[in-house]
Structure 1
Amino acid sequence: MQTDSPIVVGVDGSAQSLDAVRWAADAAVHHRAPLLLVSSLLKAPGTFGDAVNLSAGAFTGVEYGGTQRLATAAELARRSVPGNHLTLRTALRHGSAVTVLLDAAKSARMLVVGSRGLGEFTGGLVGSVSSAVASHAACPVAVIRGMPETDAPPLDGPVVVGVDGSPNSEPAIAAAFEEASLRGVDLVAVHAWSDFSLLTVTPADLSDNDLPWSAIETAEQAVLSESLAGWKDKYPDVSVRKVVVRDRPVHHLLQQARESQLVVTGSRGRGGFASLLLGSTSRALLHSITCPLLIVRR
């Protein structure tokens, strides 16, 4: 990735995408990176079918609407970081939102999207576009939810990262340390012994007293410390709080998210198959978390 790689944010005019613009502008200032606002037009003009089915000037109106969306978003981005230098560009591109954003992600430092866009009635907290780009983008993807009102105090609290001890979580740890350092906040590292509830995998005839919990906890503390060791040396300014739990990492990450400004997770966990684009933890967080989530692919 080039040092001038932009932070790319998808703009469709929805309230959620404008939240993403505000968050991305702040992230661009922290990273000292350019900000690229991207909006899409579903159909490209100039085909025979367009000439037959659409009246003269229809595409002009569609493109004008896209240009206005980007202008509104650009103004909001600048107002979101008053007094800070922000290098900003806009791009109006033809194609589906997913295709356009994935193409922009190829040369991006980070891709930022709202939790849902215009017209996305999925029945869940996350829309189809944000889910698709989180699964397929070639760069880290931030899905923004839980932003305060424009005039309210900004998000505060620590950065939280999920650590499972596998190579898949290493890029997330690196990104979490960087974010915590740039924002001047603490880092909370959450490590669960198991991805599943131990009540469902422990033999029913065994009680807590029959299992060597103390020895297991000591071993898992060592796993977490080893995962963090090199990064603590690289970012000595970041204060780290370690949280080791027995099971259900999603449950504990969601608890930590209530008081946090950002949660960082890998795209797949220790048990994720290579064919799965998102692991169970990142997928569950994507659909349930109530603060910004950064998914970092290995």
Structure 2
Amino acid sequence: MTRSVVVGVDGSPPSARAALWAGTEAARAGWPLHLVLVNDDPTRADHAERTVEDLVERCRRARPELPVTGEVADGHPARELVHRSETARLLVVGSRGHGAFREVLLGSISTTVAAHARCPVAVVRGAPRNSGPVAVGVDDSPGSQVALRHAFDCATRRRAELVAVQALPDAYFTADVYPPLDPQEIRTRADLHLAEQLAGWCAEHPDVPVHRRVANQHPVAALCSAAESAQLLVVGHRGRGGFAGLLLGSVANGVLHHAPCPVAVVRTAVHR
């Protein structure tokens, strides 16, 4: 399990999709895959083992070159998954599930894991796609830089384009400014600032085509719009600036609920 891609499963179709998505992600990076089912009912122990074995076999058939292991654990799902995130490269969960065991419902397990995991967390929403760009939310916070690192790495492994989104909600309507700010000047300055933040990463990843997008929208709306054609959306765990108050429960929570593609939430630092 150490340094694996770890997937929380419960036997539901969404968790199976998350496991298969995680297998593709692990294969791209050359990492092993480890499936975890948290069972809180001792009378269903045999069924839990069969469920994990079946999913492990499905992942192996989909990716024969990939080392895949499985485990049934006791305890609370979020707590157990967060514990395993301490040694994982990536933790993956479905957006919602309703298997024979604990539910993995967005707003409870998935959100808790995204808030507290020690490694990047991917919440797999809907039917994942294998084409399209990687989208990432950008501001001038340390969390944004960590998200950019993850997004560029993902785009490199996918050989995909990257769309960097800078949100400026209500920037054109700042009160008590005289003379009034010119909307085009605001957009131009924001685009230049965005380019400055991306410059170092573009130099490190010259093979990744990068597109900048400055939007006069709420960050959730801007990111979800970019995610409509994306195969992955990356956000920082918390931020400031254009993404004021980027905390789970606000912007990150909003895209976890509404983005039409898998969402990766990346922590800035671990606070034990």
* Pairwise same-fold verdict (TM > 0.5): yes
Q: Which residue of 2 aligns with 1:286?
A: 256
Tell me the distance in 1 between the aligned counterparts of 2:27 and 2:137.
Answer: 25
Tell me the distance in 2 between the aligned counterparts of 1:183 and 1:72.
Answer: 28
Q: Which residue of 2 aligns with 1:34?
A: 32
Q: Which residue of 2 aligns with 1:111?
A: 91
Query: What is the identity, as a one-letter code, of the residue corresponding to 1:8?
Result: V
Aligned-pair CA distance for 1:206 = 7.5
Aligned-pair CA distance for 1:12 = 0.6
Q: Which residue of 1 aligns with 2:170?
A: 197
Tell me the distance in 1 between the aligned counterparts of 2:77 and 2:133.
Answer: 32
Going from structure 1 to structure 2, the CA distance change for 1:184 and 1:273 (only over 3 Å counts) comes to closer
Tell me the distance in 2 between the aligned counterparts of 1:235 and 1:198.
Answer: 31
Matches within 5 A, 1:41-56: 41-42=39-40
The answer to whether the 8 A contact 2:239-2:247 is kept is no
Q: 1:238 aligns with which of 195, 205, 208?
A: 208
Q: 1:69 aligns with which of 32, 35, 51?
A: 51
Higher Rg: 1
Going from structure 1 to structure 2, the CA distance change for 1:273 and 1:136 (only over 3 Å counts) comes to farther
Moved more, 247-256 or 30-39: 247-256
Unaligned segments of structure 2, at least 5 residues: none
Tell me the distance in 2 between the aligned counterparts of 1:38 and 1:166.
Answer: 33
Q: Secondary structure at the match of 1:131?
A: helix
Tell me the distance in 1 between the aligned counterparts of 2:150 and 2:69.
Answer: 24
Unaligned segments of structure 1, at least 5 residues: 44-58, 149-153
Aligned-pair CA distance for 1:278 = 2.0
Q: Which residue of 1 aligns with 2:61?
A: 79
Q: Deviations over 1:144-200 (max 9, x none)?
A: 01225xxxxx5311100010122121111000000000001100111123xx4347x
Aligned-pair CA distance for 1:273 = 8.9
Aligned-pair CA distance for 1:293 = 0.4
Aligned-pair CA distance for 1:277 = 5.2
Percentage of identical aligned residues: 40
Q: Deviations over 1:57-78 (max 9, x none)?
A: xx3x522111111111112212
Q: 1:174 aligns with which of 136, 140, 149?
A: 149
TM-score by length of 1: 0.81
**Alignment RMSD (CA, Å):** 2.6
Q: Secondary structure at the match of 1:263?
A: strand
Query: What is the identity, as a one-letter code, of the residue corresponding to 2:136?
Result: V
Q: 1:16 aligns with which of 8, 14, 17?
A: 14
TM-score by length of 2: 0.89
Q: Deviations over 1:90-122 (max 9, x none)?
A: 111111111110111110101000001227889
The answer to whether the 8 A contact 1:116-1:127 is kept is no
Tell me the distance in 1 between the aligned counterparts of 2:78 and 2:24.
Answer: 24
Q: Deviations over 1:198-241 (max 9, x none)?
A: 47x633x889x932323322321122112111111111110001
Tell me the distance in 2 between the aligned counterparts of 1:121 and 1:198.
Answer: 41
Matches within 5 A, 1:83-232: 84-118=64-98, 126-147=106-127, 154-193=129-168, 196-198=169-171, 202-203=174-175, 210-232=180-202
Tell me the distance in 2 between the aligned counterparts of 1:42 and 1:18.
Answer: 19
Query: What is the identity, as a one-letter code, of the residue corresponding to 1:190?
Result: V
Tell me the distance in 1 between the aligned counterparts of 2:98 and 2:10.
Answer: 7
- Equivalent pairs counted in the alignment come to 265
Tell me the distance in 2 between the aligned counterparts of 1:277 and 1:95.
Answer: 27
Query: What is the identity, as a one-letter code, of the residue corresponding to 1:98?
Result: A
Going from structure 1 to structure 2, the CA distance change for 1:279 and 1:162 (only over 3 Å counts) comes to farther
Aligned-pair CA distance for 1:279 = 6.0
Matches within 5 A, 1:245-264: 245-264=215-234
